[in-house]
Amino acid sequence: MTVNLIPRRPLWAIRGSLDRRIHWLIACCGLLLVLLAWWLASTGGAVDPVFLPTPPLVLNSAWEWLHDGDLLGDIAISVYRVVAGFLLSAVLALPLGVLVGTYAPVKALFEPLTDFIRYMPAAAFIPLVMLWVGIDEGAKIAIIFIGTFFQMLLMIAEDVRRVPMEQIEAAQTMGADRDEIVMRVIMPSAKPAILDTLRVTMGWAWTYLVVAELVAANSGLGFAVLKAQRFLQTDKIFAGIILIGLFGLATDQCFRWAHRRSFPWLYRR
Amino acid sequence: MTSPIIQIRQLQKRFAANGADIVALQDADLDIAPGEFVTLVGASGCGKSTLLRIVGGLEPASGGSVSVDGVPIAGPGIDRAMVFQHYSLYPWLTVTENITFCRQLKVHRDVSTLSDVESAEGRADALVRLMGLSHVADAYPNQLSGGMQQRVAIARALMARPRILLMDEPFGALDAQTREVMHDLILHVSILEKTTVLFVTHDVEEAIYLAHRVVLMAPRPGHIAAVHTVPLQDHRDQDMKQTPGFIALKKQILAGIRETSGMQTNYELLERLGQNPAP
Ligand SMILES: Nc1ncnc2c1ncn2[C@@H]1O[C@H](COP(=O)(O)OP(=O)(O)O)[C@@H](O)[C@H]1O
Ligand SMILES: [Mg+2]
């Protein structure tokens, strides 16, 4: 007979935590539950497959897309657009966010403006972007940029502001000058939070893909979804949306992995 | 008295907060001798931290002056190190890297010769051992207890051989036993290093046990109300807390704080409430 010497953690403790195994078990249940509900609803015959295709239909449509269409090409171009738009945002938002979070004049100059612009719907910029940037790749990247940059800037500024004043003042009393405080204290201290911000905004970049590919696209996952909509190919719409979700999830996991690798001190006890 | 290392003259500090003008410090005068250990006590909000931060150069004065060795201070300097209550360690650096942080800075790098580097390494090692941190030298701060973290903070502050150590309630978050250990440690270190210490606390017993002189401050507006010389020899031990001199001084200072804090208990009201319990 085996005796479990480690007491079970209570499941319903407030702010409790779960064993890894139980956590994943419950997470899989959640996924399966949705899948099951979908399957039952779509195969019952009560709903027209045009409105709700069955899971096999969706899988089949993805398969056809891979064989007869250009699924890999669509994935490649969409990944390119998302990554390019995101990187452009990050390259500009990083230094600017650090400055906004550190220096009051820069904050006064940019923060109210950014706060204002970030409430403007990215989709509404499409006509302007077409006018200014044209209708090629640059336009799609520009839409993703508009959708992510302003949020990213404000969030990075906030990450930087959350660096404890004590860390900064300790450096001052040790003789650090302004540049040293930014480079040796503020940056390394805010880095983990900034990487988290990048992870979250990367997710938003994926959600802007369909909007971006509204602009005169003829390839890409978002474009495929839009085209399928025109022909009422609900199964392909499902396949496209699920694929975008999966890619979003995959990039999210990559960021989490990078976080654990880059900041081991946060995960050590 | 030898010529003072810190001279505080007519020091004033005002804060403008939400339109109101707060006088945090009014006409503070204080001389501190080299190697002296001075503690600041007083009700909360009486300007202890403000005084310490002005000496540290982290806050500009609104009037009056603070001089170190006769030179008026203008901003922070490596002659005055500061130890905070918490959040000041760098969690991305190991204990040793935290302690040697100042070596990465230009002010210390520019003047480095080979022997400087060597002596710095020796000093870092010595501080690690002195502070009892040898077994955690490669750990990260968040793996350490609060007491160990403060040891690291003190070692880091001492690394650049500051002449003055400024401490703002450094043991305020520690439990009583850990605090006693830290008291003897900081006394030992300050004597060994001949460091002048200005130490803020709200714990009167701590203030007396550590100090040559206890400065009592009072609020509204923040000012120095009294300066008490501690009638104990330089070498302290915990038993001294039971001596009549210690107890008398503690009573006197506590009474002084109570008098100035403006938080009197209404005994009459308490008594009446006791006689007529709420229905
Ligand atoms: N940055 C600030 N802005 C406005 N008021 C402040 C600031 N810092 C301190 N004060 C005020 O100055 C007074 C003294 O504060 P402080 O020196 O922190 O007191 P203590 O450390 O003795 O508790 C308090 O009334 C406090 O509210
Ligand atoms: Mg204080």
Quote the ipTM score.
0.90
Give the pLDDT band of residue B196 (cuts 50, 70, 90). very high
The answer to whether residues B195 and B222 belong to one domain is: yes
Cβ atoms within 10 Å of B213's Cβ, excluding its own: 16
The answer to whether residues B144 and B226 belong to one domain is: no
- The shortest C-alpha distance from B159 to chain A (Å) reads 9
Q: Which residue among A173, A174, A265 places its CB closest to the CB of B92?
A: A265
Instruction: Give rounded-to-5 percent helix, strand, coil for chain A.
Output: 75, 0, 25
The answer to whether residues B27 and B153 belong to one domain is: no
Pair B86, B46: CB distance under 8 Å: no
pTM, full prediction: 0.89
What is the per-residue pLDDT across A132-168, written as a single tens digit (0 to 9) for each?
A: 988 888 999 999 999 999 999 999 999 999 999 999 9
Residue B38's beta-bridge partner residues?
A: B198, B213
Q: Give domain status of residue B133, yes or no.
A: yes
Q: Which residues fall within 8 angstroms of residue A263, CB to CB, at 6 or more apart?
A: A191, A192, A195, B92
Q: Which residue of A has its CA nearest to B156?
A: A174
Q: Give domain status of residue B211, yes or no.
A: yes
Pairwise CA distance, residues A222 & A218, whole Å: 10
Which domains does chain A possess?
73-220 (1.10.3720.10)
Q: Which residue among A166, A175, A269 places its CB closest to the CB of B105?
A: A175
What is the per-residue pLDDT across A246-258, written as a single tens digit (0 to 9) for each?
A: 999 999 999 999 9
- The verdict on the CB of residue B119 being under 6 Å from ligand 1 is no
Give the pLDDT band of residue B277 (cuts 50, 70, 90). low
The answer to whether residues B133 and B103 belong to one domain is: yes
Q: Give domain status of residue B185, yes or no.
A: yes
Give the DSSP letter string of B217-259.
EETTTTEEEEEEE--S-SS--GGGGGSHHHHHHHHHHHHHHHH
Q: Of B103, B127, B161, which residue is a domain's last?
A: B161
Q: In testing the pocket of ligand 1, which one of B14, B41, B46 has its CB within 8 Å of the most ligand atoms?
A: B46
Q: Of B125, B146, B161, which residue is a domain's last?
A: B161
What is the per-residue pLDDT across B14-24, written as a single tens digit (0 to 9) for each?
A: 998 888 888 99
Residue with the nearest Cα to atom 25 of ligand 1? B45
Q: Give domain status of residue B84, yes or no.
A: no
Please answer yes or no on whether A176 and B91 come within 8 Å at the CB atom. no
Number of domains in chain B: 2
What is the per-residue pLDDT across B209-244, written as a single tens digit (0 to 9) for each?
A: 999 999 999 988 999 999 999 998 888 988 899 999
Give the pLDDT band of residue A48 (cuts 50, 70, 90). confident
- The verdict on the CB of residue B85 being under 6 Å from ligand 1 is no
Find the chain A residues whose C-beta atoms sit closer than 8 A to any C-beta of B: 164, 166-167, 169-177, 180, 184-185, 188-189, 191, 263, 265-266, 268-269
Q: Which residue among B58, B89, B140 places its CB closest to the CB of A169?
A: B58
What CATH number corresponds to the domain at position B33?
Answer: 3.40.50.300
Q: Measured in angstroms, how far is the CA atom of residue B46 from the centroid of ligand 1?
A: 7
The answer to whether residues B49 and B187 belong to one domain is: yes
Q: Using the 8-state DSSP alphabet, how is residue A195 labeled? A: H
Mean model confidence pLDDT for chain B:
90
Q: Give domain status of residue B177, yes or no.
A: yes
The answer to whether residues B74 and B175 belong to one domain is: yes
SS3 track for B166-225:
EEECCCCCCCHHHHHHHHHHHHHHHHHHCCEEEEECCCHHHHHHHCCEEEEEECCCCEEE
Q: Of B117, B138, B161, which residue is a domain's last?
A: B161
Dihedrals phi, psi of A186, to nearest 5 degrees? -65, -50
Q: Give domain status of residue B86, yes or no.
A: no
**Is the per-residue pLDDT at B121 higher than 60?**
yes
**Is the per-residue pLDDT at B114 higher than 70?**
yes
What pLDDT is stored for residue A78 in this prediction? Answer: 95
- The verdict on the CB of residue B219 being under 6 Å from ligand 1 is no
What pLDDT is stored for residue A151 in this prediction? Answer: 94
The answer to whether residues B10 and B147 belong to one domain is: no
**Is the per-residue pLDDT at A3 higher than 60?**
no
- Quick one: which H or E segment has residue A257? helix A234-262
The answer to whether residues B16 and B110 belong to one domain is: no
Give the pLDDT band of residue B97 (cuts 50, 70, 90). very high
The answer to whether residues B145 and B267 belong to one domain is: no
Give the pLDDT band of residue A7 (cuts 50, 70, 90). low
Q: Give domain status of residue B217, yes or no.
A: yes
User: Which region among A206-215, B31-40, B76-85, B129-138 has the lowest average model confidence (pLDDT)?
Assistant: A206-215
- The verdict on the CB of residue B50 being under 6 Å from ligand 1 is yes
The answer to whether residues B145 and B29 belong to one domain is: no
**Is the per-residue pLDDT at A2 higher than 70?**
no
**Is the per-residue pLDDT at A11 higher than 90?**
no
Pairwise CA distance, residues A99 & A157, whole Å: 8
What pLDDT is stored for residue B262 in this prediction? Answer: 66
Pairwise CA distance, residues B206 & B208, whole Å: 6
Residue with the nearest Cα to atom 5 of ligand 1? B15
Range of the domain at B118: 91-161
Please answer yes or no on whether B142 and A269 come within 8 Å at the CB atom. yes
Q: Measured in angstroms, how far is the CA atom of residue A110 from the centroid of ligand 1?
A: 30
Pair A86, A203: CB distance under 8 Å: no
Chain B residues in contact with A195 (beta carbon < 8 A)? none
Nearest to B156 by CA among B81, B52, B76, B49: B81
- Mean pLDDT, range B104-125, rounded to an integer: 79
The answer to whether residues B176 and B259 belong to one domain is: yes
What is the per-residue pLDDT across B241-264, written as a single tens digit (0 to 9) for each?
A: 999 999 999 999 999 998 877 666
Per the model's pLDDT, the better-predicted residue between A259 and A214 turns out to be: A259
Lookup result for tokens 């690291």: B152
What is the per-residue pLDDT across A27-45, written as a single tens digit (0 to 9) for each?
A: 999 999 999 999 998 888 7
The answer to whether residues B174 and B153 belong to one domain is: no
